[in-house]
Structure 1
């Protein structure tokens, strides 16, 4: 899928940033950036570079392996296929010479690539500034929000499936399989990341994955999942209890829910990341669990699961209208259990709008 109008707008934003920094052209190697600029989710899995001159049209450079596919599926930029035995560095060098560029920016550049380019183009100045496109991607356009909403609806449905399937005696990977099948059936091209189903003591591991461990009655179970839809990712976490939760489990759960609710109601445009983080962290600390909240409150999400802005104790990033990020406080009691509640949200002038909407309650 591609949208020529959104691709053109994004390319214009990049060219404005290039002009401010004095770059004659921009070379995108990172897949998410190429997908962003072409507004085409099919440009993935490597084999592509997009060359963006300041004063002429961009070109998508494709490997011989991907050339025919690119010509058929990419309609909004010109496609050039590498010749036999030609490397991307060769093609990039010829394009730089063609536009007579003096200052070139890359979103990613290895030392061997830089050395090769300098041998071919000794008078050209090269810089690597991934933040240019990351900063543009922080502000989502309406097309991106549309894709993110769909990815979040898929995640909501997958969470419902997982929780309805969850019971004592099933294995963690079985719960994950049910959720992932639902996501694929609803149109997700893949899962956004390895699905987490962490039960009992494993729920105290923030990134526990899923194993063959059997779920037992009385355990907390953290389910963290996400879908990728047309390139865009969602992220949703719920903590549920198999059987009646113990008093400590209830106390920790209510603390995390209160912390998340406080943040969801009070995060506003213009805050910086650490201020947003403190809204939730202060409640967790007041309840005596501060040392067990061991990660930031949230992270930006879009074409990548983790991208700017960051909401954490040290983040000085300003939160802006049309940012999409997660809000996910958690408490992790070693060797006992953990609780995390996470939603993907859109920041507007009126505050946060939830994109994931699955209910939050005890399951007994």
Structure 2
């Protein structure tokens, strides 16, 4: 698998007229090598693949990255060691991950290189990672299955007097019992007036009759993420709550019916956004419609009003419109789908009709 990915990266380097790539972002290091450590770097040239780690990770790297030559660096000498390998390989044009390097590390990198041109090359791995391979899809689907099962489980715990924090802890415990490494991101549970906060993390607030409760959460399984949002109500909904729920659901279903390979992210966003705008809630939907999911919870492609992302078959994205009204609450509904040539495959199975508890 990783040998095939190395070939893909090298093909991209050739097209970009680069003869080397320095990879420092952990997710990208894992993608090309299989190494799961938290520190190190990959030096990739036209005919060499080095994984540079410190002593703590030497044995782990040897086990996880058999296609790579493992090079150990001493404390605080990562970029110097990488520079030596790059120079030894006669690299003249080097790509690097500008979005991941701090100014300090960027300067360290430059000081380690002699007569080598450097170019921002984040896009190379971002583009490769955006189209999922079959084994990646399997892991994402498993992560989503855990997420769906957890939602079914937590419904039984929702009652007056239970706190958001108590629900969060139960959800994480349950996901781990199902085989998740942990949560894919900090779980969002926002109830009552707090549900107007798109990213309202769980607090000690206790649930009350009439609350809208938004759950936005996901599992991490074998390093791959899932992402789902459902909004439920404790008790009987009022007319306004029903109204905004039905509008959000209509917008989401329209986007799901429109999305397919070779459409632009901004066009899918527009489908959902126009529906919400036409109902008079333009000011209450302020975030993008969706994003890619994989090794990271937010990655390419993006579905936003300004997104020029060309959606392609094999990409995994979320569709998550919402309406948020201060002092009333909010509704968001999010599914994760795999884009296909003629539509999409929805891998989120949790029900979307308004659940009243």
TM-score (norm 2): 0.95
CA distance in 1 between counterparts of 2:232 and 2:112 reads 59
Q: Which residue of 1 aligns with 2:319?
A: 327
* Aligned partners of 2:189 and 2:215 also within 8 Å: yes
Give CA-to-partner distance per residue, 1:319-353, whole Å, 9 cap, x none: 11111110000000111110000011100112111
Which of 15, 22, 28 pairs up with 1:20?
Answer: 15
Q: Which residue of 2 aligns with 1:43?
A: 36
Query: CA shift at 1:85, angstroms?
Result: 4.1
Which of 72, 82, 87 pairs up with 2:77?
Answer: 87
CA distance in 1 between counterparts of 2:224 and 2:13 reads 25
1:121 and 1:76, CA in 2 relative to 1: closer, same or farther beyond 3 A? closer
Query: CA shift at 1:86, angstroms?
Result: 6.0
Paired positions, count: 354
CA distance in 1 between counterparts of 2:41 and 2:106 reads 15
CA distance in 1 between counterparts of 2:109 and 2:256 reads 48
Query: CA shift at 1:23, angstroms?
Result: 1.1
Say what the alpha-carbon RMSD is for the aligned residues. Answer: 1.4
Q: Which residue of 1 aligns with 2:160?
A: 168
CA distance in 2 between counterparts of 1:115 and 1:166 reads 52
* Aligned partners of 2:49 and 2:67 also within 8 Å: no
Give CA-to-partner distance per residue, 1:91-132, whole Å, 9 cap, x none: 101111211111111124333334334434331111222111
1:164 and 1:53, CA in 2 relative to 1: closer, same or farther beyond 3 A? same
* Aligned partners of 1:196 and 1:224 also within 8 Å: yes
CA distance in 2 between counterparts of 1:237 and 1:137 reads 24
Task: Provide structure 2 residue ranges, at least 5 long, that are not aligned to the other structure.
Answer: none
Residue 306, structure 1, aligned to residue 324, structure 2: no
CA distance in 2 between counterparts of 1:50 and 1:121 reads 15
1:250 and 1:85, CA in 2 relative to 1: closer, same or farther beyond 3 A? closer
Task: Provide structure 1 residue ranges, at least 5 long, that are not aligned to the other structure.
Answer: 1-5
Q: Which residue of 2 aligns with 1:3?
A: none
1:49 and 1:118, CA in 2 relative to 1: closer, same or farther beyond 3 A? closer
Give CA-to-partner distance per residue, 1:66-95, whole Å, 9 cap, x none: 22222234333232222x446111210111
Q: Which residue of 2 aligns with 1:353?
A: 345
CA distance in 1 between counterparts of 2:127 and 2:13 reads 13
Residue 185, structure 1, aligned to residue 177, structure 2: yes
TM-score (norm 1): 0.94
Q: Which residue of 1 aligns with 2:244?
A: 252
Structural mapping, 1:10-159, within 5 Å: 10-38=5-33, 40=34, 43-44=36-37, 46-54=38-46, 56-82=47-73, 84-85=74-75, 87-108=77-98, 109-159=101-151
